[in-house]
Amino acid sequence: MTSVVSRHLSSFQHLDEKSRKEWVGAAVLLWGSSTPSWNRALLRRKVAGAIADIVEDHLGRLFDRFRRGRGRAMLEQTAPGSSEEKFVRYLKGSRLTLGEMIFEIDGTRRFPKPQYPDLRAWLQSNARRLSLEWDPKRAGRLNDLRRSASHGGSDVSEQDASELYDLSVWLVDLLYG
C-alpha cells in the first residue's frame, strides 16, 4: 500500500515518517481488501479525519516557518487595534486550525490589497505552487469535509471520504510538489 500511495501522491516522500505511516494506515482501512465493508463504514469518519489532520499538521508547519522567519517583524508593523485578529494572535504564539489557515491563504489573494502582504510575499517565495495554484473552492471543500469528518456526529459517505482524500492529496502536492 505504501507503493500505491507514493505513486498516487507524488509528494509522499516529503511527509515525515509518522505522517506517512498514518496516511498509509488510513488508506488501508478505507480501501484495503482485508477490511470488511461493515468495518470500513464504522471507521470511515475517523480515518478520513486522520488524513485531513495530517494535511493540517503540514500546512501548520509551513505557517510556523513563516512565524519563525517573519512573525516578529510583522508584529512590529501591525496596527495596535489589530491584536484581536486571529492571525496576529497566531504570530504571538496561538494555534491556527486548517480552516483558519485556508482563510489566511485566501486573504493573501485579495486584490488590489491582500490582508497580509508580508504573508503573501513569503508564500510566493517559499510555497510557490501553493501560491500559484491555490483554489479557494477546493480548499474550502476540504475544510468542510474535514470538519464533518473530525467534528460531526454523522457518518462520512464513501464518496465524501474519497473526495476528502483527493483534496488532501491536492493540498500536500501544493505544499511539497
Q: Give yes or no for a contact between 52 and 142, defined as CB atoms under 8 angstroms apart.
A: yes
Domains of the chain: total: 1
Q: Region 153-160: what's the mean pLDDT? A: 79
Alpha-carbon gap, residue 22 to 51, rounded angstroms: 8
Per the model's pLDDT, the better-predicted residue between 10 and 136 turns out to be 136
pLDDT for res 85: 87
84-93 pLDDT, tens digit per residue, is: 789 999 999 9
- The chain-wide mean pLDDT, for the chain, equals 88
Tell me the Ramachandran region of residue 35: left when phi exceeds 0, alpha when psi lies from -120 to 50, beta otherwise: beta
pTM for the full predicted model = 0.88
pLDDT bin (cut points 50, 70, 90) of residue 83 is low
